[in-house]
Amino acid sequence: MTNPHEGWYLIYTKPCHEKKVHARLSGINIQSLLPMQKTLRIWHDRKKYIDQPLFPSYIFVYLMNRKDYYDVMDLDGVLHYVRSGKEVARISKTVIENIMIITEQGRALEVSDSYFEPGQQVMITEGALAGLTCEIVQNNNKKKLLVRVDLLQRNVLMTLPVDQLVVI
């Protein structure tokens, strides 16, 4: 890391190692975010809701200095930092806050890698999501709220009543 700055970064993990790496990060006192969603898994004899990562194989980490950068890389299960060109990509604090707000709400979320035309910018005014800024887009003939995570080329979609929205 040539130019360490305090902030949020994104690491890529081995498949199915997200929870283990997240626990190891807590063990070395590095703040991390592993957004989760409840999904219904169906086996031939039963159904069960399980927690799965919203972005498989990715964990957001908050680095304070160069030492944190190398401590994260030394963890078992971490493959590399996500880069933008030759530099390690930083994640906007706004994106992190938006992801935290929508995952804490516990509503049904949908992650899509489809391209969406820029939609109308809105802010949620009521409820647990108050303060979240997002876009309204059309998906499957329904209007949904969209939060973009450009670095991952993913979008998080959710449905919310229109009376809780105000145009920015």
What residue spans define the domains of the chain?
Answer: 7-91, 96-167
Concatenated DSSP letters of 120-155: EEEEE-SSTTTT-EEEEEEETTEEEEEEEEGGGTEE
> CA torsion sign, 150 to 26 to 18 to 145?
negative
Q: How much is the pLDDT for 119?
A: 78
Q: How does pLDDT run across 35-53, given as a tens digit for each residue?
A: 988 888 898 999 998 888 9
Which of 123, 110, 102 is closest to 156 using CA atoms?
Answer: 110
Q: Residue 120 pLDDT > 60, yes or no?
A: yes
Concatenated DSSP letters of 63-120: E-SHHHHHHHHTSTTEEEE-EETTEEPEE-HHHHHHHHHHHHHT---EEE-S-----E
Averaged over 24-33, what is the pLDDT? Answer: 94
Q: How much is the pLDDT for 42?
A: 92
Separation CA 70–CA 23 (nearest Å): 17
Note the pTM of the prediction, 2 decimals.
0.76
Q: How much is the pLDDT for 168?
A: 72
Cα dihedral: 67, 73, 75, 76 (round 10): -170
The domain over range 7-91 is classified in CATH as 3.30.70.940:
yes
